[in-house]
């Protein structure tokens, strides 16, 4: 949600900043803007819409050469996506510029205060108060960095801010509370970015910033303090993916590339998890086995697709560990007074590690003394840093707004957690755990097969391109797959799509069925005969009412053939692993339908990759 870049060094700042914005555009694309130092003022350009609009502005009116600059790509919160609301926001004399991600919650009071002091506002944003406060502060005391700290102390809410001051060439200052900001360390140059993608073309050395910290970068130094100026300790790490991982690599869309990376994402997430004795080991687990043995309840919290990964995991975790497991939307969790204590394990699932609802939920959980374990794909991000333990998914950067490899690798990481708990609690024998691990290790082949057979689904999308409503049905772990299939279609194709537990059909949703309504049905493996039989009946019920049934069913199960208009074959895998293969054709379908409808697959309207406001 908003991408921020800052640069000081020996290169043309504009090139570095615009390049960084291109990589961060997935975070928001309502407007973009840049500012570079130009003598005693900041030269700037900003434009509503995607970065290509700003490119056009810069082509007709280039900014001057400079080695200090900042930039922003916006997901609108306060004020619509207009040129005036685009960042950077500037002081009246254009000496100061700021870019911002987050929400300044006390901006109305601050705005009134500044208006009383004679300031005029030129945007509807909450951000403008920040640059005007800084302007006023610098009249009281001349030190740029100290003035930034003083401003930060007055702000409430969530913010990442990056400032430039025309009177401080070669200096860029950043600050963060709750929203993400990472430092990139270069040689004679330094970078700030909402995430490492902003500077991965130049350096893989990154510094995590903690809460309520201010960072000052010059070409040769990085200095971090708290909001009162006390020096702060930092952790440096090396980014373990290279530039090519964040590039389209010849694919039309990042989403297509990321769908195809799923076999590897799953394999990498499983890699190195067994010790030489075949015992499951989780290296990043910072909770002791004794602490984990004390756990008597698990609550999984997450948003969107990550919450569906949690719903899948619940079936497996309860089955393997016999520990009650609930799944809850992070945005609801802390507002309902949940019953949690020291023996509750709260599992936060987040690809980005920055989702604000999830972050706030884990803070709440820790206040209530629960232990928090996160499942995350982004090293150095806030959620794992604030958790007691972490299991990283090794999916590599996920750039498309629609999560694909993130989802599959989250399910796998949750399964590893479930098996690990089963191992230390002794609820499963070692050889039973081995069997599951071996089946999991074979899953990338199954995923690959679904990718290779994608053409069938693409043709189906072409046939159904004029439909405006789709339903998805599943039972057991197929139910969250149905939810995920529907979510993908909503966010990419902007059509009505809903997922239901098949057993709920007759309790209402069947009234939606009319002639020709496309209905995807995920059939559980035949080994689960009761479940399988029930869903076959459900297919007959909707078919009898005119639904166009698209049935995902394992190889060799022909019981559904008389009632299926389209059959999508799945490899035979154990029930609990079926989501890992069944989700893939639904991703491909949504991607293709969106493409056929002429939508931007990677940057769907109104969305942003990482939702850093509540």
Active site residues: 2, 609
Interface contacts to ligand M6R, rule CB under 6 A: 303-306, 350-352, 355, 358, 401-403, 406, 487, 491, 610-611
Residue whose pair of structure tokens reads 């984990």 in the numeric block:
292
| Per-residue CA distances from 95 to 36, 56, 166, 426 (Å) | 11, 25, 5, 65
134 or 181: CB nearest ligand M6R? 181
Helix axes 430-452, 578-596, angle to 10 degrees: 20
397 alpha carbon, distance to own chain's centre: 10
Alpha-carbon span 382 to 360, nearest angstrom: 11
**End-to-end alpha carbon distance in the chain:** 11
Smallest separation (angstroms) from ligand M6R to the CB of 461: 17
566 or 597: CB nearest ligand M6R? 597
* 246 three-state secondary structure: helix
Token pair belonging to 558: 């022909």
Alpha-carbon span 64 to 13, nearest angstrom: 10
* 26 three-state secondary structure: helix
Smallest separation (angstroms) from ligand M6R to the CB of 278: 31
Q: Where are the alpha helices (DSSP H) in 206-277?
A: 254-260, 262-270
Instruction: Give the H or E element holding residue 518.
Output: strand 518-522
Q: What DSSP character marks residue 501? A: E
Alpha-carbon span 543 to 292, nearest angstrom: 48
306 or 457: CB nearest ligand M6R? 306
Phi and psi of 514, rounded to 5°? -145, 175
What is the arrangement of strands in the sheet containing 96-104, beginning at the earlier edge strand? 89-90, 96-104, 157-165, 172-177, 213-218, 221-226
Token pair belonging to 70: 């900042």
Q: Which residues contact 180 (CB under 8 A, 6 or more apart)?
A: 101, 160, 194, 195, 354, 381, 382, 610, 612
127 or 382: CB nearest ligand M6R? 382
305 or 344: CB nearest ligand M6R? 305
Q: What DSSP character marks residue 612? A: -
* Burial track 87-122 (b if 16+ CB lie within 10 A, e otherwise): bbbbbeeebbbbbbbbbbeebeebbebbeeeebeee
Q: Which residues contact 583 (CB under 8 A, 6 or more apart)?
A: 407, 408, 481, 484, 485
Number of helices (H) and strands (E), helices first, in the chain? 18, 24
- From 379, 436, 447, 420, select the one nearest 206 (Cα to Cα): 379
Answer whether 524's CB lies under 8 Å from 475's CB: yes
Smallest separation (angstroms) from ligand M6R to the CB of 347: 13
Beta partners for residue 213, in sequence order: 176, 226
Name the residue whose CB lies closest to ligand M6R: 304
């Amino acid at each position: 949600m908003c991408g921020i870049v800052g640069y000081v060094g020996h290169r043309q700042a504009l090139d570095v900043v615009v390049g960084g914005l291109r990589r961060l555009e997935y975070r928001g694309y309502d407007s973009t803007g840049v500012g570079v130092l130009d003598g005693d003022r900041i030269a700037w350009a900003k434009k509503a819409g995607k970065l290509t609009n700003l490119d056009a502005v810069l082509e007709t009116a280039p900014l001057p050469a400079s080695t200090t600059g900042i930039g922003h790509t916006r997901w609108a919160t306060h004020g619509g996506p207009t040129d005036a609301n685009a960042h950077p926001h500037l002081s009246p004399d254009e000496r100061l510029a700021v870019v911002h991600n987050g929400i300044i919650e006390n901006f109305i009071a601050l705005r009134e205060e500044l208006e009383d002091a004679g300031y005029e506002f030129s945007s509807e944003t909450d951000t403008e108060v920040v640059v005007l406060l800084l302007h006023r502060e610098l009249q009281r005391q001349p030190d740029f960095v100290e003035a930034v700290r003083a401003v930060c102390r007055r702000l409430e809410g969530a913010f990442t801010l990056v400032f430039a001051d025309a009177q401080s060439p070669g200096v860029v200052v950043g600050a963060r509370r709750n929203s993400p900001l990472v430092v990139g360390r270069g040689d004679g140059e330094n970078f700030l970015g909402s995430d490492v993608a902003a500077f991965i073309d130049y350096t893989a050395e990154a510094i995590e910033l903690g809460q309520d910290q201010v960072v000052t970068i010059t070409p040769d130094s990085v200095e971090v303090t708290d909001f009162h100026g006390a020096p702060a300790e930092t952790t440096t790490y090396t980014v373990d993916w290279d530039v090519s991982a964040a590039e389209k690599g010849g694919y039309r869309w990042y989403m297509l590339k990321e769908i195809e990376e799923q076999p590897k994402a799953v394999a990498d997430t499983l890699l190195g998890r067994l010790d030489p004795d075949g015992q499951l080991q989780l290296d990043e687990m910072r909770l002791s086995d004794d602490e984990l043995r004390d756990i008597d309840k698990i609550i999984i919290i997450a948003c969107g697709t990550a919450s569906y990964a949690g719903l899948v995991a619940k079936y497996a975790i309860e089955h393997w560990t016999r520990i009650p497991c609930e799944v809850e939307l992070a945005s609801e969790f802390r507002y309902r007074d949940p019953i949690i204590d020291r023996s509750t394990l709260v599992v936060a699932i987040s690809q980005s590690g920055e989702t604000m609802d999830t972050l706030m939920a884990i803070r709440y959980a820790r206040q209530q003394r629960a232990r928090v374990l996160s499942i995350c794909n982004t090293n150095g991000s806030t959620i794992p840093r604030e958790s007691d333990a972490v299991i990283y998914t090794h999916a590599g950067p996920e750039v498309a707004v629609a999560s694909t490899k993130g989802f599959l690798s989250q399910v796998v990481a949750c399964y590893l957690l479930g098996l690990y708990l089963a191992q230390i609690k002794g609820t499963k024998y070692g050889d039973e755990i081995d069997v599951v691990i071996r089946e999991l290790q074979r899953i990338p082949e199954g995923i690959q097969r679904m990718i290779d057979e994608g053409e069938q689904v693409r043709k189906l999308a072409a046939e159904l391109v004029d439909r405006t409503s789709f339903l998805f049905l599943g039972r057991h772990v197929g139910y969250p797959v149905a939810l995920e299939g529907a979510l993908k279609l909503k966010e990419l194709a902007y059509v009505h799509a809903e997922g239901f537990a098949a057993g709920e059909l007759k309790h209402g949703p069947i009234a939606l069925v009319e002639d020709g309504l496309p209905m995807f049905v995920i059939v559980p493996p035949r080994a689960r005969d009761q479940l399988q039989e029930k869903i076959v009946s459900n297919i007959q019920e909707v078919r009898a009412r005119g639904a166009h049934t698209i049935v995902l069913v394992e190889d060799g199960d022909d019981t559904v053939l008389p009632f299926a208009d389209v059959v999508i074959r799945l490899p035979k895998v154990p029930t609990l692993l079926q989501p890992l293969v069944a989700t893939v054709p639904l991703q491909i379908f949504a991607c293709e339908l969106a493409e056929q409808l002429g939508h931007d697959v990677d940057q769907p309207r109104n969305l942003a990759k990482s939702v850093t406001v509540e």
